[in-house]
Structure 1
Amino acid sequence: MSVLVAGCGSSGGGTGSGRGELRMWTFKQSHVAAFRAAAEKFTEATGTKVDVQAYTPDDAFLTKIQAAARTNDLPDVMEVHAKGEDFALGGAGLLADLSDEVDADWTKRFLPQVRGDGVVTPVDYENSLTEGSKSLGVQRGDRYSIPVTVGTQGMVYLNKERAAKVGVTEPPATWEEFIDVLDRLKKEYGGRGGLTIGLKSPSTALEWIMQPMAYGLLGKDRFEQLFGRDAGKGWSSPEGRKVLDTYNQVTPYWMPGSQSKTIDEADLAFAQGKASVDVGGTYTLAFLADNGYDVGNLLTFPVPPPAAAKMPDLQMSPFSLTGLGMVKKTAKRDEALEWMRFLSRPEIAATFGKQANDVPPNDFDAGQAKALGPVLNSMQSSFGTDPEGYNPSVTSYRPNLYDAGKVGAVLAQMTPLKTLSTRSTGARMSSMMKSYWSEQGS
């Protein structure tokens, strides 16, 4: 993210709008209708109107913020990328510190795993001081956002009608059952029965399929050792080769041309019926819906662990995807906070999530969760509360110079390209880890 310039004087939230209206910006077009529907209810309840506008793509959103900061025309509230953009804008003096406003009564509405997201941890603060940091200026303990959508990676999307035709009506509980589903679909539908993920970005298959499977198979500690300094416990070890052999079982089932497709192209191929299985994140759901896919025709589930896994009941740990931040110099602080609290209410968040096809951060009870609908509910139910659940946003066990794209490119030579054996793949990946740690030093 480029350096942002804070404006002087009062926020643009007070420019050209009366006391009874807030302005809100987002970078997600798929959220606009849901925010506007919530805004109508907010106006009915409080009398305050909310004007919601989207600026896309991300670069255009940042350009809009930069220009508005210079002319004192920022909105009152913004939806931003969590644990990144919120810190950059907070460090630049554009977003307010909410730490005195967001109390326990507010955060207890959220899933335990994400209640602290938006808060600058000691590690976040230290990272902000490194050369080239995009979050320079943040202060330890400040909160620059509250969660509005959460999710994870490694979410499988299965064409429900096609699955039913091959006798599959429930999500597979194990990796072996997952491979069996792929096999049935290929036999019935040929190339249209395949799996896609967007391998033109090779880190996808590494991080969205292999890693969650490996985490369940080996357990947290042994999984992390695959990326560690001890080469004897790396990808060439018996456990590393077992992971690669297990993952290689997907090789016959890739959709033709998968290796040349971007993530969006892969998702679109699934939406158009050219593939029967797609793997992405919880956020993939909105893309599929926006491109005409009937979300009622989905079975969704996390990549399952093998039957003999160390963690057979593997849970996925959610992390915040987007958050709500309040512009620091808004002239309507009280109304802005009231709007943000309103969006966090369980009944409002559930309706928003269902309409936006995105997972809210709320810790719903069983009755509230029903309002999400079956697809989002199945996603959120996979999160669980296990502190050792798989969280792809935790990367502290890897070397600082680790490049998932380069490692994923080696993995792609094994599958789908079939130009490397599992043994050779493990050797190359181990060599890369050794090199990364050597460059990092002690």
Structure 2
Amino acid sequence: MRRHLWSLTAASAALATTIALSGCGGAEESSDEVTLRLIAADYDVNGGQSSRNYWSSLIAAFEKEHPRIDVEVTIESWTDVDRKVARLVEDGKAPDIAQIGSYADYAADGKLYSADQLLSVPVQSNFLRPLVEAGEQRRIQYGLPFATSSRLLFYNKELFAEAGVTEPPKTWAELKDAAQQIKDGTDAAYPFALPLGPEEAQIESMLWLLGGGTNGYVEPGGSYTVDSPQNAATFEWLKTDLVGAGLTGPGAPGELNRKEAYAAFTRGEVGMLHGHPSLLKQAKKAGIELGKAPVPGRDGTAKITAGVADWIMGFNQNGNRDEIGEFLNFLFTDENVLDFAAQNDLLPVTSSASQAMEEDPDHDDLKDFLAQMSTALLPPVSKTSWAAVSGDVKEKIGKAVGPGGDPAKVLGEIAQTAAEAETREGEEE
């Protein structure tokens, strides 16, 4: 869930709302005052103040309930936050809490508290199961899911009607046929948007790999299978049947980012794409009548869809375990989880908040996304090697479907990166 925004620093502000929740373990609070340092990512896609306001309001409510604990928050853009936290950790100045894109390296280096050291049993057991599994190393949870989303096939209903497409496609063959009808029967510039650029190529690719019948980048046991024959066949189909047939755009897939693909969809130039919940409001605001359906697969609707998560974690360097736990238990109340998800067009990370959102008619548009999260598969984020593999996918995967591209060769190169990174990962354990 990458965003390209600006950075700001936020201190806590006043709020007349309080929420009471006891911390983990039932330990007695010390009378000593403690200041927690929190670094968080900016989710405001419009460059506004929503992330600052969320944290300021939450922190004010927390501090009113826990007067001996102060929380100082710094909000950084997604382009900077992971790098800045890594630098602080390297310099021996780790924050107490970080809300960023990955946790695996810090967990492997023994720099994090585990979930059971921080959270009450009811809070820890309330996370959605796929997110718990993605947050574990050696069956111990270190990464606490902060925000999540899934993907659906979005389509322009007006273009479908104009082209004579009566139903959303369930198979790749039907998707190709629908794209061809849009190309032949409408003025739409791009029947299908395929963003394999560096912003989020690893997720777009995973959607196709899952639709091709594999588990994506790894086998169930955990070893990388990037260049499996099935995965190569998936990208061969994309190269020949979709890209080679002139059914994609705008621009070359390897240069197209999600942001630009979504913008083209809201201009009415794109017939279909894989959509994030945030696109719902964007399309409605632009007057696009949007339809949504499960992601098609080679032989039918994909059995598993890709999930995406961002993480929050407690660093153990400063020894403020009890105070970090108090804050995180407070953070994961239904009210706070729902507030953040609703503000940012994301999905709740807990079962109870997900159920509350599903039952709320104001969130009817998100029910299809919510239904997928109980079985969604996340990229192998628990592997410290994933950062290198993900980076290689972002850099190279677009070449697999470009002119003269060789999917098997490109996937083989990524697999080599994966093997080398996994070897280093094993040596470091």
Structure 1, residues 234-282: CA drift from partner, whole Å, max 9, x if none? 36xxx955773476332332124234434443344334444343436x4
Q: Does 1:25 find its partner at 2:22?
A: no
Q: Are the counterparts in 2 of residues 202 and 405 from structure 1 also a CA contact under 8 Å?
A: yes
- Measure how far apart 1:26 and its partner are: 0.8
Moved more, 110-119 or 40-49: 40-49
Alpha-carbon distance in structure 2 between the residues aligned to 1:317 and 1:262? 18
Q: Distance in 2 between matches of 1:248 and 1:213?
A: 14
Closer, same or farther in 2 for the Cα pair 1:174/1:107, shift >3 Å? farther
| Range with greater deviation from structure 2 (108-117 or 296-305) | 296-305
Q: 1:373 is aligned with what amino acid?
A: H
Q: Distance in 1 between matches of 2:316 and 2:287?
A: 35
- Out of 206, 210, 215, the position equivalent to 2:210 is 215
1:149 to 147, 150, 153: 147
Structure 1 position 357, deviation (Å): 1.7
Q: Equivalences for 1:15-414 in 2 at 5 Å?
A: 19=33, 24-30=38-44, 31-39=51-59, 42=62, 52-59=73-80, 62-63=83-84, 66=87, 76-84=96-104, 86-87=106-107, 91=110, 93=111, 95-121=112-138, 141=140, 144-151=142-149, 155-159=152-156, 162=159, 172-187=169-184, 189-201=186-198, 204=201, 207-208=202-203, 211-220=206-215, 234=229, 241=233, 244-245=236-237, 248-251=240-243, 252-259=246-253, 260-279=255-274, 282=276, 285-286=277-278, 298-306=290-298, 308-309=299-300, 312=301, 314-316=303-305, 318=307, 320-325=309-314, 328-329=317-318, 334-364=322-352, 366-371=355-360, 373-385=363-375, 390-393=377-380, 403-404=392-393, 408-413=397-402
SS at structure 2 position matched to 1:25: strand
Instruction: Output the TM-score relative to the length of structure 1.
Output: 0.63
Matched residue SS, 1:392 = coil
Please say if residues 219 and 225 of structure 2, whose CA atoms lie closer than 8 Å, have aligned partners that are also in contact.
Answer: yes
Deviation at 1:343, TM superposition (A): 2.4
Deviation at 1:318, TM superposition (A): 3.2
Amino acid at match of 1:82: S
Deviations 1:338-361 (A, max 9, x none): 331222223431232011222221
> CA 1:377/1:288 → structure 2, altered by over 3 Å: closer, same or farther?
closer
2:103·2:142 contact (CA, 8 Å) conserved in 1? no
The Cα of 1:58 is off from its aligned counterpart by 3.7
Distance 2:422 2:85 in 1: 41
Residues 159 and 188 in structure 2, CA contact (< 8 A), matched pair in contact too: no
Q: Distance in 2 between the 1:408 and 1:429 partners?
A: 7
- State how far apart, in whole Å, the 2-side matches of 1:71 and 1:431 are: 38
Paired with 1:39 and 1:189, the residues of 2 have a C-alpha distance of 52
CA contact 1:196–1:254 (8 Å) conserved in 2: yes
Given that 2:179 and 2:192 are in contact with CA atoms closer than 8 Å, whether structure 1 keeps it comes out as yes
User: Do 2:200 and 2:394's aligned partners in 1 also have CA atoms closer than 8 Å?
Assistant: yes
Question: Residues 160 and 40 from structure 1, CA distance in 2 versus in 1: closer, same or farther, beyond 3 angstroms?
Answer: farther
TM-score, reference length from structure 2: 0.64
Contact 2:182 2:188 in 1 (8 A): no
Superposition RMSD in Å: 5.2
Letter in 2 for 1:360: P
Number of aligned positions between the proteins: 376
State the Cα distance separating 1:112 from its structure 2 match: 0.9
Instruction: Find the aligned partners of 1:293 and 1:66 in 2 and give their Cα distance.
Output: 40
Deviates more, 1:42-51 or 1:179-188: 42-51
| Residue aligned with 1:303, SS | coil
- Percent identity over the alignment is 17
- Seen in structure 2, the aligned counterparts of structure 1 residues 328 and 380 have a Cα distance that, compared at 3 Å, is farther
The Cα offsets for residues 69-97 of structure 1, whole Å up to 9 and x where unpaired, read as 9696x765331223336538x64x5x545
- Per the TM alignment, residue 110 of structure 1 is displaced from its structure 2 partner at its CA by 0.9
1:304 Cα deviation after fit: 1.6
Give the Cα separation in 2 of the matches to 1:435 and 1:20. Answer: 47
Query: Can you list the C-alpha shifts for 1:406-432, whole angstroms capped at 9, x where unaligned?
Result: 76244223xxx4x46xxxx46645875
The alignment partner of 2:195 has SS state of coil
Q: Which amino acid aligns with 1:105?
A: P
- Does the Cα contact within 8 Å between 1:359 and 1:380 map onto a contact in 2? yes
Q: Which residue of 2 aligns with 1:136?
A: none
Counterpart Cα distance in 2 of 1:437 and 1:334: 38
Unaligned runs of 5+ in 1: 1-12, 123-140
- State whether residues 289 and 295 of structure 1, in contact with CA within 8 Å, keep that contact through their aligned partners in structure 2: no
3-state SS in 1 of match to 2:338: helix
